[in-house]
Chain A
Amino acid sequence: MTVADALLLALGAVAVGSGALVVTSAHLVRAGLYLVVSLGAMAGLFLVLGAELVAWVQVLVYVGAVVVLLLFAVMLTRAPIGPSRDLDRPAWPALIIGGGVGLGLAVLFVAAFRWTVFALPEPGTAERMGAEIFGSWVLPFEVLSILLLSALVGAIILSRPDIGAAEENKQEEDA
């Protein structure tokens, strides 16, 4: 049991524990805040595993942007401050399927890797990641930029009904 193992175990326990609170908490805002803890622990796991750039991007994009967006949505949909009842469906089907998937995958991984020891990879710098992305992954990178642009345009059109309606009317007039 090395230091890395102990760190991985501790951070993993934090991530799984707060993840469980995300899906069971009756407070909407608390679920979002537990998500911050879970994603932060996950960024720590990335750091231990040597993926430094991924860890910081995780903190910037997930903790900084996605969770804030989710909390915005919680507040814009007028969630109650206290615990809200009627938030959940009956537990049994979800418990069976979710537990089955989680435990099944865990057993699969344990059976595949046993207790094999791997050397920790060198801490990755942004230089290595940049060489990887702009070396062999250039085309997916460019496609991703188009996808981001279309997601941006789609979100704007969705949230402004006047644009979409005007387009529809125009098309009908043309027809």
Chain B
Amino acid sequence: MHAAIPYVTAALLFGLGVYGVLRRRNAVLVLMAVELMLNAVNLILVTTDATLPGHRGGASALFVIVLAAAEVGVGLAIVLQYYRLRAGVVVDDVTLHEPENENEHENENAR
């Protein structure tokens, strides 16, 4: 087995993931691109098992899969909650600071 083949595949997939995160405006599509990046890292970890002694890579790949599942669960909960509040999933339109909300907070604190 030539180790360069899976490694180059993983590198290209990671580049595609970076491209997707930067290009897409829809939050769900951004999450899909993040999944691509995580999978590229998994491929590198699994290939490491063949090129280095020991079997650490497979165990780390399993851990990354679990982390990805947790990440996607919380991420989609945030996206859906944002959609319920603002009826939009475009990342560019997300405002982190909204003056009206801050005023509300101040009012609540004053009460």
Task: Show the binding face of A for B, using Cβ within 8 Å.
Answer: 2, 4-5, 8-9, 12, 15-16, 19-20, 22-23, 28, 31-32, 35, 38-39, 42, 45-46, 49-51, 53-54, 57-58, 61-62, 65-66, 69-70, 72-74, 76-77, 79, 84, 86-89, 91, 93-95, 97-103, 105-106, 108-110, 113-121, 124, 128-129, 132-133, 137, 140-141, 144, 147-148, 151-152, 154-155, 158-159, 161, 172
Contacts of B25 in A (CB 8 A): 86-89
- In the complex, are the beta carbons of A115 and B4 less than 8 A apart? yes
| A–B complex contacts, Cβ < 8 Å, 24 sampled | A2-B1, A8-B9, A12-B8, A16-B16, A23-B19, A23-B36, A35-B32, A35-B35, A46-B42, A54-B42, A61-B68, A62-B35, A62-B39, A69-B76, A106-B11, A109-B4, A113-B4, A117-B1, A121-B55, A144-B66, A147-B67, A154-B74, A155-B77, A172-B108
Nearest chain B CB to A109's CB is how many angstroms away? Answer: 4
Number of chain B interface residues as a range: 35 or more
Q: Which of B1-16 contact A (CB under 8 A)?
A: 1-9, 11-16
Which of B12, B78, B80 is most buried by chain A, counting CB atoms within 10 A of its CB?
Answer: B12
Interface of B is mostly: helix
Complex: how many Å from CA A99 to CA B11?
A: 10
- In the complex, are the beta carbons of A12 and B6 less than 8 A apart? yes
Contacts of B79 in A (CB 8 A): 73, 77
Complex: how many Å from CA A102 to CA B17?
A: 9
Q: Which of B62-102 contact A (CB under 8 A)?
A: 62-63, 65-74, 76-81, 83, 89, 92
Nearest chain B CB to A101's CB is how many angstroms away? Answer: 5
List the count of A-B residue pairs having beta carbons below 8 Å apart: 267
Contacts of A148 in B (CB 8 A): 66, 69-70
Across the A-B interface, give the 3 residue pairs with the lowest CB-CB distance, nearest first: A102-B15, A98-B19, A23-B20
Write the chain B residue with the least CB distance to A60.
B65
Interchain CB contact (< 8 A) of B18 among A39, A101, A128, A172: A101
Complex: how many Å from CA A106 to CA B9?
A: 8
- In the complex, are the beta carbons of A99 and B7 less than 8 A apart? no
Complex: how many Å from CA A93 to CA B69?
A: 29
Contacts of B43 in A (CB 8 A): 42, 45-46
Knowing A22-B32, A94-B23, A101-B14 touch, does A151 contact B73 (C-beta < 8 A)? yes
Which of B9, B14, B51, B71 is most buried by chain A, counting CB atoms within 10 A of its CB?
Answer: B9
- In the complex, are the beta carbons of B59 and A57 less than 8 A apart? no
